[in-house]
Amino acid sequence: MDMVNIKINGVSYDVPADATILEAARTAGIDIPTLCFLKDINQIGACRMCMVEVKGARSLVAACVYPVNDGMEVFTNSPKVQQSRRMTLELLLSVHERKCLTCDRSGNCELQKLCNDMGIEEEERFAGDLPQNITDVSTPYLERNNAKCILCRRCVAACQNQHVSVIGANNRGFDTQIGCAFEAKLNDVSCVACGQCIVSCPTGALREKDNTQEVIDAINDPEKIVIVQTAPAVRAALGEEFGLPIGTNVEGKMAAALRRLGFDKVFDTDFGADMTIMEEATEFIHRVQNGGTLPMITSCSPGWVKFCEHYYPDLLDNLSTCKSPQNMTGALIKTWYAQKEGIDPSKIVSVSVMPCTAKKFEIKRDDENAAGLPDVDISLTTRELAKMIKKAQLNFNRLPDEKFDDSMGVSTGAAVIFGATGGVMEAALRTAADVLTGEPQDSIDYEEVRGTEGIKEAVYKVAGMDVKVAVASGLSNANKILEKIRAGEADYHFVEIMCCPGGCVNGGGQPIVSSTERSFTDVKAARAKALYDQDKAMPLRKSHENPVLKKCYEEFLGEPGSHKAHEILHTTYVKRGY
Amino acid sequence: MQKRISNLPFHDTPEQAGKLDEVIAGLKGQEGAVMPALHQAQEIYGYLPLEVQQKIAKGLNVPLEEVYGVSTFYSQFSLTPKGRNHISVCLGTACYVKGADKVLDRIQQKLGINPEECTEDGAFSLTACRCIGACGLAPVMTVNEDVYGRLVPEDVDGILAKYME
């Protein structure tokens, strides 16, 4: 790598020649404040927060986009720089709804932090009118309040990065607002509900639709039996809300917290993930052996499913008909479990905790109601669960480690890796290999489909057949593969697509990691590692070895892919326009 | 001011549609094609309604939101149709201090439309413009190519009557 020498605040550093001033400074341990900057997603130099002084330059320059050159002298802390930062913040505050005490993002708002860091004392120095027509609460999964928007465009870039681009900057000057074309509401455009805009937002302008009160009300209703399930990726991130390092697996404390919150049963979506593998592997084998539509594409990720319905309705036959693990778990809670326990399913309130905002959309889909009732009644994000834990004043970090409840709390290592890109593929291959050869295979680590790369391809020999697979995470990457399939240029047999880059661990419902932290930490990889470590340590690592799942098939569903299994665990899709 | 969006029904003729198809075909695949496409589409239709922007977005393979963002950023793009008679009331400084706002109020009242709107019968559209360089005649308005100066609100009815068939 070519290096150049620059001086930052009088100290000399060797830095890569292609670095920006911001990258060089952060590597050297000197922070420069930013707002619109979001590594790999938004680097547009728009907010003017990162202005620094460069010797010889006519004016201050934006460090996030300004390249270094040999001999450059940078000052990140001069009076001129300090004054510029303060002025930028004061101007942002002039059009900002300053309701920090009651704001969802209080405590992890990047604007709030900078105001504190820079010692802004007079928040109303330039106070003026607030923009009008500012909220969008049309969807069942997210809310926008532009009175808290600082027009950094990180959400716009995140949406573009997902190949969706339904939001952008409209109008001009003081009237500029982030919204949809022709001022449509988000629910009326082809938004896929992924929530990547929310986790990109530095302030409280975007948040999920909060359903926590409905859950609390259900728990407090003596007539209701409230059963919760948690997705694999939640345990890899929930701890961040309580100050634990990124990548800490808090499965035990989470189970303990859920019990103390008053849930009657604490189940694991991993059980449904194992179920998904049984059904999906069976469906895949059936398609291969009977000339069904190939490649078969996974259907666990509701953001991806919605994307397919909007943008690739011609490929809906390629989608597996399997419900997602969330809805398989929900469906079995209200059918098999209710029957077994003699519970009236209409008394059950089925709650899920998901790393995802699209799950709030998924539970309202048609054909997701095996017992004639919604498979899942309320879906919370990881962040909402953290809120409930805080509201109940549980000291999360001091809770004991507990286990999920028996029955649908039992799962395998194959299920826990569902939370990372490549995990579903690997889990399916583990089972397909055993089923097709008729004997347990020793090699179960499918390294080629692991890792945070956007597109991964591999060919595996399964029972004498070459199975060509592809794994994509993030819809831009998915789009590349889908274009190939649409053009008939792809000869894959099986494709895994996850809506969010890196898979569910990086979902739109996960704890929000600041832009600065994201500059240093590969959040996707750190959270995924927690799941792969858990998989490695588990006694059972193949879905078909799950003893409770076997029992469920024996006493209730019959064979995987049976008529009953289809009624309860499979679903249908609709063509949506865009 | 936020751009006004017309809620009048969109009328398209085969000639107009054909011209827009040609424009899009000529710009397809080019970098920065949205601006010239919008420009020429406005020449064809007089304004840029949803249907036209959708066609541009699909044709150029860019998100509709991007097209809309551009069309609302630049002031020369209009999202409302022009009437058969187009009224501009100058709200530049000189006209304003001489009471142009009251003249504008009167027109709005009379026609039942706001600036950047068009009457339902398509007879009049209205805009509030910046200085047109006739400050000596302040307050001033134009109807099509005709200029009317030294106005008082009471003049409005008579002027509009001339253009009502």
Q: A30-49, pLDDT tens digit by residue?
A: 999 999 999 999 999 999 99
- For residue B108, the domain's CATH number is 3.40.30.10
Q: Which of B53, B66, B72 sits opposite A165 (nearest CB)?
A: B66
Q: Is residue B151 part of a domain?
A: yes
Contact between A476 and A163 under an 8 Å Cβ cutoff? The reply is: yes
Contact B3 A171 (CB under 8 A): yes
Confidence of residue B164 (pLDDT cuts 50, 70, 90): confident
Q: How many helices (H) and strands (E) does chain B have?
A: 7, 5
Q: A215-257, pLDDT tens digit by residue?
A: 999 999 999 999 999 999 999 999 999 999 999 999 999 999 9
To the question of domain A213-569 being in CATH 3.40.50.1780, the answer is yes
Q: Is residue B34 part of a domain?
A: yes
- Which residues, at least 6 apart from A496, have a Cβ–Cβ distance to it below 8 Å? A297, A298, A421, A422, A424, A425, A449, A469, A470, A471, A472
Q: State which H helix or E strand residue A536 sits in.
A: helix A523-537
Mean of the per-residue pLDDT values of chain B: 94
Give the C-alpha distances (Å, rounded to integers) separating A55 from A6, A19, A68, A394, B22: 11, 18, 12, 53, 52
- Measuring CA to CA, which residue among B161, B135, B160 is closest to residue B150? B135
Mean of the per-residue pLDDT values of chain A: 96
SS (H, E, C) A287-337: HHHHCCCCCEECCCCHHHHHHHHHHCHHHHHHECCECCHHHHHHHHHHHHH
Correct CATH for A3-77 of 1.10.10.60, 3.30.470.20, 3.10.20.740, 3.20.20.70: 3.10.20.740
Instruction: State mean pLDDT over A292-297.
Output: 96
What is the percent of chain A where pLDDT is above 90?
Answer: 94
pLDDT of B3 above 90: no
Q: Is residue B90 part of a domain?
A: yes
Contact between A28 and A42 under an 8 Å Cβ cutoff? The reply is: no
Instruction: State mean pLDDT over A435-459.
Output: 93
Nearest chain A residue to B64, by CA: A181
Contact B63 A169 (CB under 8 A): no
Q: Is residue B105 part of a domain?
A: yes
In which domain, by residue range, is B68 found? 14-73
Nearest chain A residue to B3, by CA: A171
Q: Is residue B78 part of a domain?
A: no
Classify the phi-psi angles of A407: left when phi > 0, otherwise alpha if psi is within -120 to 50, otherwise beta. Answer: left
Q: A526-538, pLDDT tens digit by residue?
A: 999 999 999 999 9
What number of residues does chain B have?
165
Confidence of residue B8 (pLDDT cuts 50, 70, 90): confident
Helix axes B64-73, B50-60, angle to 10 degrees: 120
Give the C-alpha distances (Å, rounded to integers) separating A358 from A141, A239, A473: 7, 22, 15
The predicted structure's pLDDT at residue B76: 81
Q: Which residue has the higher pLDDT, B145 or A1?
A: B145
Q: Is residue B4 part of a domain?
A: no
Q: Is residue B29 part of a domain?
A: yes
Q: Is residue B63 part of a domain?
A: yes
Contact between A346 and A301 under an 8 Å Cβ cutoff? The reply is: no
Q: Rounded to whole angstroms, how far apart are CA atoms A38 and A551? A: 48
Q: A252-276, pLDDT tens digit by residue?
A: 999 999 999 999 999 999 999 999 9
What is the percent of chain A where pLDDT is above 70?
Answer: 100
The predicted structure's pLDDT at residue B75: 80
pLDDT of A115 above 80: yes
The predicted structure's pLDDT at residue A13: 97
- Which residues, at least 6 apart from A392, have a Cβ–Cβ distance to it below 8 Å? A260, A261
* Order of strands across the sheet that contains A265-268: A265-268, A225-230, A348-354, A378-381
B58 to chain A, any CB pair closer than 8 A? The answer is no
Same domain, B42 and B111: no
pLDDT of A83 above 90: yes
User: Where do the structural domains in chain A lie, given as residue ranges?
Assistant: 3-77, 135-210, 213-569
Contact between A32 and A65 under an 8 Å Cβ cutoff? The reply is: no
Task: Give the pTM.
Answer: 0.93
pLDDT of A131 above 80: no
Give the count of domains, chain B: 2
Which of chain A's residues have a Cβ under 8 Å away from the Cβ of B75? 172
Same domain, B63 and B91: no
A577 to chain B, any CB pair closer than 8 A? The answer is no
pLDDT of B15 above 90: yes
Instruction: Report the CATH fold assignment for A135-210.
Output: Alpha-Beta Plaits (3.30.70)
Nearest chain A residue to B62, by CA: A165
Residue A470's DSSP bridge partners are: A457, A495
Contact between A20 and A65 under an 8 Å Cβ cutoff? The reply is: yes
Distance from CA of A124 to the nearest CA of B (A): 24
Q: Rounded to whole angstroms, how far apart are CA atoms A53 and A331? A: 60
The predicted structure's pLDDT at residue A123: 86
Same domain, B102 and B127: yes
The predicted structure's pLDDT at residue A124: 86
Q: A148-202, pLDDT tens digit by residue?
A: 999 999 999 999 999 999 999 999 988 999 999 999 999 999 999 999 999 999 9
Same domain, B96 and B158: yes
